[in-house]
Chains A and B, each alone.
Chain A
């Protein structure tokens, strides 16, 4: 049976939203930790705002709150139904997409998704403060892992699988690029501190946001260095959240679609363009070009992949 364009769209966005919910939790965790360790007056708020900016949520936040502290930011990123990127909104959107394609996903996937939403929607924001916040952030990550596990363990390797996987890794690439860019925002006003103690601390947190602070040691056998960390999150093919890894993964799944449908589409070309950015380059070139500019190019190219994918397979 041929797949509806809407079904493909729902599958793609289902896993994008699950990944996004997870990444929101990671991002908030980093922002929260940074704010806790800030030694300067007003530093906590500054960290939180730079984090919101990296997620392109700073303006939306400013419309709703005057003060950026842990409570307001946590509410905004976790529970605010009017923030389309909050964990609440992401899980709701993911579950709505799952419900629309109930017959195209497995029971295990549905149960995982439905369960996550039912549990999360019961939580009262005022009950989640301080230490409880970190616990809940961890819970969000775990539910995302559970969903992905159900997906990998149960679904047929057909076009639906390819759309789900593409959505997941397009979103992840976007997120990693934004986390790296946050570093840029954090550092911007104080470039004199590059390489200093605070700088290292911030890079550490960025690694943490990518769950990469331990694996870094396995790969580099070295203390944290900006050069290495950027290399790790951009160019290392063994790092499952690096830009190049995500790009390869999306490429493979778009190739699977081209194979299944017997035809290459515009999205395959857009993917090749994106790969050109991360293949055949090195960190020296990227830093020389400008990290921020590089990341912007990558995010744009990644968006083009989504746009062309939507057009190629009749999303609407």
Chain B
């Protein structure tokens, strides 16, 4: 589980520079005084002007912030990436196989490899999806896998995001900004491109168009609207792909098919990359009071007239309670050992494990089963006694509502802090596309906890992002 001292991605224990960071280290040394600070200011101006903002929930209405961007890139060596991407590919294939199975014969439940009740009584399980045959058998087309590094060769998957993972626009914009800010650094290194993502996304979406669609399927991105925290990303991706950015009111069903309202009348839509949660997608089938969705869209999907990406009900595969079974899932469907580790997870409904958890809470991380974005989460070592007690009470009251994991010593990367360079903890979210083939963008989004010692990297909790470089051989 890693040492107590976190793994430094740039420096070896003896102070020498690790190979992948050599060019960066030289470049850093050459920067004039305040050079990084100027670059940082430029970066912020670029982002704000482009309107790359996210809305912060709970703060004053309409408040938009620019997500902090760190000008020092995070670097992954070619061989490290090969290993990671093989593990990621294995994982997303197995999870899609699992989704197919639970919505068809449920062999894995019959075999007793996962408790039946955990799946069937799960809120994320969508009975309406039973028996549906999605194009190419793919349910989760767009996936973000959260990975942390704790040693030179040790990576852990923190969670899989199979619903509507966000952040990919930051990956692309970070690269864009980095290339504007430090072109000389790029010239010294062979960095794998990420700019292909929108094109790959388009290809992936086209490859899962329903049978009746023509050679050039019409693709729409469905957004909850401009007040959504990820609206910038929705419009950015639509723009980059050359797809139509739609709100629920722009789409309607007619004769079991989905159309958008254009200036010259209805136009048929074949594939919908929807960024609206399952519950709000279709008031006819899910939450009846939803104003965001499109009435009848799910029925049109069942009728095979449109493809929804990701499919409804994929949440059953990234549920925090199902997470612990992913190694089992990989073995069951692929007959292989998992290449990437899961973080050991304690089950609080088990009396013995719970007792141990309550005893050692100051060392552990507690997460709400259905929480996300760093909300409803407690990191033991950086929390107060009062917070420990509060979460103990919560666990005792609802043991099934929490999972508990050891506090991982997340690796650190050099980060620009107050015109100085200091190590800060990072994680990594690579983005995966699954359609006619599995496409993994080299790198992903590196999130960095800007506060010293903090392990919480979420942007809603003061985290920033870095451009992520995968070096080519």
Contact = CB atoms under 8 A, between A and B. Distances in A.
Interface stretch (A96-104, A142-150, A210-218, A222-230): A96-104
A111 interface: yes
B260 interface: yes
A84 interface: no
A110 interface: yes
Interface in B249-283: 249-250, 260-265, 267
Interface string A1-21: 111111110000000000000
Contact of A103 (B226, B235, B265): B235
Contact of A1 (B231, B244, B247): B244
B448 interface: no
B262 A5 contact: yes
B367 to A, nearest CB: 33
Given A102-B51, A103-B239, A111-B49, A314 B247 contact: no
Interface in B37-88: 49-51
Given A4-B250, A99-B231, A313 B263 contact: yes
A9 B350 CA distance: 57
A4 B262 CA distance: 4
B267 A2 contact: yes
Nearest to B49: A111
A4 B251 CA distance: 10
* Most A-side CB within 10 Å, residue of B238, B239, B246, B261: B261
B51 A4 contact: no
A100 B264 contact: no
* Most B-side CB within 10 Å, residue of A2, A4, A114, A261: A4
B242 interface: yes
A261 B246 CA distance: 21
Given A4-B244, A96-B226, A261 B263 contact: yes
B245 interface: yes
Contact of A5 (B51, B239, B261): B261
Contact of A314 (B231, B244, B261): B261
A99 B226 CA distance: 7
A261 B265 CA distance: 11
Contact of A159 (B231, B232, B261, B263): B263
A261 B250 CA distance: 20
A102 B238 CA distance: 10
Interface string B279-298: 00000000000000000000
Contact of A4 (B226, B239, B242, B263): B263
Interface in A85-126: 96, 99-100, 102-103, 107, 110-111, 114-115
B261 A103 contact: no
A185 B261 CA distance: 43
B235 A102 contact: yes
A238 to B, nearest CB: 32
Contacts of A159: 263
Nearest to A100: B226
A261 B226 contact: no
* Most A-side CB within 10 Å, residue of B225, B235, B262: B262
Interface in A268-316: 313-314, 316
A277 to B, nearest CB: 27
Nearest to B235: A102
Given A1-B242, A4-B250, A316 B263 contact: no
Nearest to A314: B261
Contacts of B245: 102-103
Interface string A59-80: 0000000000000000000000
Given A99-B226, A102-B235, A110 B51 contact: yes
Contacts of B239: 102-103
* Most A-side CB within 10 Å, residue of B226, B242, B263: B263
B244 A114 contact: no
Contacts of B244: 1-2, 4
A150 B250 CA distance: 28
A103 B238 contact: yes
Contacts of A96: 226
Contacts of A1: 242, 244
A6 B245 CA distance: 11
A261 B235 contact: no
A100 B224 CA distance: 11
B263 A8 contact: yes
Contacts of B226: 96, 99-100
B5 to A, nearest CB: 44
Contacts of A110: 51
A314 B239 CA distance: 22
A52 B277 CA distance: 46
Contacts of B247: 6
B47 to A, nearest CB: 12
A107 B226 CA distance: 17
The 8 A-B residue pairs with the shortest CB-CB distance in the complex, in nearest-first order = A103-B239, A2-B262, A313-B263, A102-B235, A5-B261, A99-B226, A8-B263, A3-B263
10 contacts: A1-B244, A4-B244, A4-B261, A4-B262, A4-B263, A99-B231, A102-B232, A111-B49, A261-B263, A314-B265
Given A4-B260, A313-B264, A314-B265, 4 more contacts: A3-B263, A4-B261, A314-B262, A316-B261
